[in-house]
Amino acid sequence: MKPEFKGKHFITLDDWKKNEIERLLEVSKIMKQKFHNNEDTTFLKNKSAFLMFFEQSTRTRNSMEAGIAQLGGHGNYLDTSGMQISHGESAKDTAIILSSYGHGIACRNCFWKIGNKFLREMAEHSTVPVMNLQCDLYHPMQGLADLMTIQEVYPKTQNLKVSVIWAYATTHKKPISVPLTQILLFPRFGMDVTLAYPEGYDLPEWAIVKAKKYAKENNGTFTITHNIEEAFKDADVVIPKNWGSWVNNQSDAVVDELLESYKSWKCTEEMMALANKNVKYMHALPADRGNEVVDSVIDGDHSIVYQEAENRLHTAKAVMAMTMGDK
């Protein structure tokens, strides 16, 4: 397996050409097949990656740690509260030093207007690939796994009706990185994408402009609605997930008057009944059960969330093998 993208940073899929993303997906499928057949995948023997986390993680941390182990390498988990970053060490110095110790740096930093800049600064000074494990703007690992999952269910994505829908949640003020990544990625594969959210939960205007451009270039569509029923109607894939009002309100408050006014934005059996009869329900997880979605939907026949979650492992392995490998 050739490391075709050796040294290439993985900060946003927007920096990757469509054919490069398709190649990552091909390798992800190979990784999945080999995993299920218990076949050797030691493409990163004796390689090491530093996994830096400013926030909590389940799928991302474990898919990266298990993934690099299955590739024959080692992942150093770094809680940044225990690093000198917590005392003010710069992204530049951190990147220069860590890249001299290993073969890749991966980082999750979701702080608004900080995370992506931090990753970009590390990438500027790192001599090894920097991989984004989620920032304030992008979650490319999740986006790649989402696309892989959709393609497993629907081999033809052209004009597939996919709805990215805001949903009510109270666990924490979530980043916008998952829906933003999805609206920039899915139109590049010809999907008819609907973005639905109540007023006040806008995504950045530059992202909307790009999404419309990508849809036009790939003969798909991109539509915005503030009506939840309209988003579910006749959809092939629905992705109801909460995100915070960061674009319009930078407060860290989780629950506020605006949020509480939209409790009705929930994925229910009634909403699912408006969609295509074979509709698939997706979510990056963890879902705020009872708020974002009712149990009968996420645990029901339409749900493919666990397939989607498993694919985080295979896509992570593909990214690491193709950017960090020698052979």
Within a domain: 183: yes
Same domain, 158 and 297: yes
Q: Are strands 237-240 and 280-281 parallel, antiparallel or unpaired?
A: parallel
The Cα 199–Cα 160 span in angstroms is: 26
Q: Tell the burial category of 25 from Cβ atoms under 10 Å away from its Cβ (0-12, 13-18, 19+).
A: buried
Q: Which of 215, 217, 241 is nearest to 163 (CA)?
A: 241
Same domain, 133 and 149: no
Is 0.85 topped by the overall pTM?
A: yes
Q: What is the pLDDT of residue 2?
A: 72
Find the farthest-apart pair of alpha carbons in the chain and give their distance in angstroms, rounded.
55
The Cα 247–Cα 124 span in angstroms is: 26
Within a domain: 59: yes
For residue 214, give the H/E element and its range: helix 205-217
The Cα 189–Cα 170 span in angstroms is: 33
Please tell me the total count of domains within the chain: 2
For residues 75-90, give the mean pLDDT.
96
Q: The domain spanning residue 290 has which CATH number?
A: 3.40.50.1370
Same domain, 168 and 208: yes
pLDDT category of residue 326 using cuts at 50, 70 and 90: confident
For residues 172-201, give the mean pLDDT.
98
Q: Is the pLDDT score of 318 beyond 80?
A: yes
Q: What is the span of the domain harbouring residue 192? A: 141-308
Q: What is the pLDDT of residues 10-39, one digit of tens each?
A: 999 999 999 999 999 999 999 999 999 999
Within a domain: 261: yes
Within a domain: 8: no
Q: What is the pLDDT of residues 247-260, one digit of tens each?
A: 999 999 999 999 99
pLDDT category of residue 1 using cuts at 50, 70 and 90: low
Same domain, 93 and 208: no
Q: What is the pLDDT of residue 3?
A: 74
The Cα 151–Cα 224 span in angstroms is: 23
pLDDT category of residue 327 using cuts at 50, 70 and 90: low
Same domain, 149 and 251: yes
Cα–chain-centroid distance for residue 35?
A: 22
pLDDT category of residue 320 using cuts at 50, 70 and 90: very high
